Structure 1
Amino acid sequence: MPEDARISSISPRADAASDRHDVLIVGGGLVGASLAIALERAGVGAALVEATPPGAMPAVFDQRNLSFAEATVHALNALGVLQKLQAPAGPIREIHVSRAGDFGRVRLAASDYGREAFGQVVVARDFGEALEARLSELPALVRHRPARFIGFDGIEDGWRVVRLANADGEYRVRARLVVGADGSDSAIRDSLGIEAEVHDYAQTLFIARLRTARAPDGRAFERLTDDGPTALLPRGDRHYGLVHGVAAADAAAVAALDDAAFLARVQRIFGWRAGRLLGVGPRSQHSARRVVAARVVDTRAVLVGNAAQSLHPVGAQGFNLGLRDALTLAECIAGAGDPGAPALLEHYTARRREDRERTLAFSDGLARITANPAALLRPLRSLGLLAIDRDSSLQAMLAGGAMGYRGDVPALCRGGAA
């Protein structure tokens, strides 16, 4: 059977508008949707493969609290996304870091660097709704939804052939470039045969909204312990967003606590820095894992966001790093004749190398050393906290990373035009 006839026989939507795309993004979550918006802004034809149907939200858009660095805020404003938020964001004006059992602490104030805030806290659900509102305004975006990626069928005349499936069956599309933005358990990564290094931190993170006697005043707190971090992030609804890390072996017992006992546990570990904890909303839990792809490009394919690297949430670097992946890729593709050309993908990899390596090292190192209970490390950590708190150059380095400025920063993150 001729190839075109075979494709038509299994494809319920094989037509010129939906069959061939310059860029095909697999994954409609935070990074994939942001990339689609950035590509449209750059005048690049793109398609988005989404598992959820119209009117539904991906599971990632839940009650988690997203900490947007200043660079991320610049970019999302330029993309017209933050203007779509229906709920207020919470500014992070000060960052306070300490560790249980160690003396010393680090305090960073945005005003010391001529900023009003280091960034903003946004609830993932609110952000998802803002992204969807912005996506609905893109006239050229093709959305395959609900659809799922099945696999690849090789490369033909400079097009990667992709098998998708929906309720009507399997069908094929072709793309000059396929972008895997499908999360830490990426099917794109697996289909490309790209290995990933996986490290389980043996920690479970409980996410919730906290009500306190004192409303948030712009301070974000991170309390580090042997079992992981406990963070309070100032939300825009006069509540704190909680991230509470516990040893994975204790997760079931912590999950079984009633609200009063859970609050007492967090209060005991966290102390009174944010005042008395009065109430807690519904709790969700997530495992802390590090998943790092051995490489991020293949022939006419690239991985971004969690498909390329998933980080421990300590330091709140994950989405910020993934968005910089997406924005750098959009910059590389803008004006290029072939978005999947080998030279373009090599250039993209080179541009992302420093930021990716430095952020991965920072996140993993912080997660490991702060959770290590070894007695010999306690005085060293304490001295480190004291040194950072007293050394303006070390503070400036930390502040720059917290605001999203590492390596080759995309223009939109700098407040410029791409």
Structure 2
Amino acid sequence: MNHDASAPAGDPAQILHDVLIVGGGLVGASLAIALQGQGLQVGLVEAAPPGALPAVFDERNLSFAEATVNALGALGVLQKLRAPAGAIRRIHISRRGDFGRSLLDAQRYGRDEFGRVVVARDFGDALEARLAELPQLLRYRPVRFVGLAEDDDGARAIRVADAGGERVLRARLLVAADGTRSGVREALGIAADEHDYGQTLFVTRLRAERAPDGTAYERLDEGGPTALLPRGDGHYGLVHGVLRERADAVSAMDEAAFLAHAQDAFGWRAGRFLACGARSAYPAQRVLAQRCTAARAVLVGNAAQTIHPIGAQGFNLGLRDALTLAELIAAARADDAAADCGGAGLLADYQRRRAQDRERTIAFSDGLARVTSNESPLLRPLRSLGLFAADRLPSAQAWLVGGAMGYRGDVPALCRGARA
């Protein structure tokens, strides 16, 4: 039964969830959808009340890799989008002050597109519409995670609170999908390694002289990326990185000054920047959990790894976390209908299967962010050579393209086009 915590069917403390997900954002909601149809008792703990979306569903532009498009289509989410998505048919990469550039074209690889651009708010609406169709999902909202409770034999217990006070929820498997500053990760005693890139990223909708033609641009310099993503509404999604010490000054700019600032960083490939919407600002940081599992608990998405948005890998990586977990649970239950979703063997398999994709994607994102923001003149010829190689060498292009489309390591079947 799909219900809110404010009107539970029975006493939630007496329910033993097979899987309890804390966090109803992009990855947590996607996991809840992926787990349906397996006969599981799944609970979703959400801070946002009914009728409201979590804060993460804002004006940010999400770049979905092909693997993500495949999976979300199989899960019935993309079909719920009410606004058109923008196709990414080409990826243009360059760095200010360096020679060379790399242009990746999907047609060279027998594809019409590398992926699609979706506004986070629109994606949130689509996820909500799909969640509303799940008859067995227990939704606890608005509810906040308070901490861990004393575990039962064979189950995790957590304390949550709403307007009526605290209660205890129990689960075979606890999933932390509660973001970069994960309260569940902290309660589990899992440390995280942090790095601040010293950059602030401004995000907005932008109208330019030339309408989007399917090309996604990534222009790099010491302040971070200035990216233009082709949206489906005739606008671009702009991500403009600046050094942290300049962020307040850029934030205080009026629209004309901000457009001129972003134009100077990006150049004129899209023509003159004409107008932009409201701006949001986010720090560029890397937060990596030192481990992704604990007894009857697993971290997914930004709770496991928050990475620099350069290359647009974050949500795609987090979704592959969720889909791998759902796939392992389905495989275990296919062998034994009473299989324990939080068993040590299953979590060990999860850690093993996610290792290569996680390590390679983090290394790619972090390495690109560090190398491209370093102004050392010694690095300029090396960067230019790298861009030249990426544009001319098939092996280098294939490596970039495979990562851009979401195919690193052991990829879940739904990402490869299997049906849910």
Shorter-normalised TM-score: what interval?
over 0.9
Matched residues in 2 for 1:417 and 1:293: separation?
Answer: 31
Displacement after TM superposition at 1:234 (Å): 0.1
Letter of the aligned partner of 2:132 in structure 1? S
Match of 1:357 among 350, 356, 359: 359
2:376 paired with 1:410: no
What's 2:264 paired with? 268
Match of 1:153 in 2: 149
Residue 4 of structure 1 aligns with which residue? none
Note the 1:276-295 alignment, pairs <5 A: 276-295=272-291
Counterparts of 1:248 and 1:412 in 2: how far apart (Å)? 39
Counterpart contact for 1:22–1:46, Cα < 8 Å: yes
**Cα distance between partner residues in 1 of 2:213 and 2:299:** 38
Q: Distance in 2 between matches of 1:209 and 1:37?
A: 29
1:345 to 344, 347, 372: 347
Paired with 1:18 and 1:33, the residues of 2 have a C-alpha distance of 24
In structure 2, the residue matched to 1:390 is 392
Contact 2:161 2:167 in 1 (8 A): yes
Q: Secondary structure at the match of 1:154?
A: coil
CA contact (8 A) 2:149 2:159 kept: yes
Residues 141-180 of structure 1 mapped to structure 2, 5 A cutoff: 141-180=137-176
Can you list the C-alpha shifts for 1:365-404, whole angstroms capped at 9, x where unaligned? 0000000011111111111111111101110110000000
Moved more, 38-47 or 156-165: 38-47
**Deviation readout 1:23-82 (Å, 9 max, x if unpaired):** 000000000000000001444321100001000110000000000000000000000000
Structure 1 residue 157, shift from structure 2 partner = 1.6
Other-structure match for 2:192: 196
Alignment match of 1:65 (pick from 58, 61, 64): 61
1:217 equivalenced with 2:226 (yes/no): no
Deviations 1:302-336 (A, max 9, x none): 00000000010000000000000000000011143
- Secondary structure of the residue that 2:238 maps to in structure 1? strand
SS at match of 1:156: coil
Give the whole-Å Cα distance in 2 for the aligned partners of 1:42 and 1:413: 19
Question: What is the CA–CA distance in structure 2 between the aligned matches of 1:78 and 1:194, rounded to whole Å?
Answer: 33
1:42 and 1:330 in contact (8 A); partners too: no
Distance change (3 Å), C-alpha of 1:132 and 1:17: farther
Partners of 2:43 and 2:322 in 1: CA distance: 14
Structure 2 CA distance, aligned partners of 1:129 and 1:18? 32
Whole-angstrom distance in 1 between the partners of 2:13 and 2:106:
48
Question: Could you tell me which amino acid in structure 1 is paired with residue 278 of structure 2?
Answer: P
Q: Distance in 2 between matches of 1:378 and 1:93?
A: 28
State the 1:16 CA deviation.
6.1
Q: Is the 8 A contact 2:13 2:168 kept in 1?
A: no
Identity, % of aligned positions: 67
8 A contact 1:13–1:171 mirrored in 2 = no
Structure 2: stretches of 5+ with no match in the other structure: 1-6, 334-338
Deviations 1:74-111 (A, max 9, x none): 00000000000000000000000000010000000000
Q: Does 1:254 align with 2:250?
A: yes
Unaligned runs of 5+ in 1: 1-10
Alignment of 1:177-188 (within 5 A): 177-188=173-184
- What's the secondary structure of 1:155's corresponding residue? coil
Name the SS for the 1:263 alignment partner: helix
Equivalent residues of 2:13, 2:167 under 8 A apart: no
d(CA) in 1 for partners of 2:371 and 2:38?
A: 42
User: Is the 2:12–2:169 contact (alpha carbons within 8 Å) kept by the matching residues of 1?
Assistant: no
Contact 1:152 1:163 in 2 (8 A): yes
2:50 to 43, 48, 54: 54
Following superposition, the deviation at residue 206 of structure 1 comes to 0.2
TM (normalized to structure 2)? 0.95
C-alpha contact 1:39 1:330 (8 A) present in aligned 2 = yes
- Aligned equivalents of 1:19, 1:243: Cα separation in 2: 44
Q: Distance in 1 between matches of 2:197 and 2:12?
A: 47
Contact preservation (8 Å) 1:14, 1:171: no
Query: Aligned-pair distance for 1:239?
Result: 0.2
Aligned to 1:376: 378
Contact 1:39 1:45 in 2 (8 A): no
Measure, in 2, the Cα distance between the counterparts of 1:267 and 1:41: 49
For 1:119, the aligned partner's letter is: G
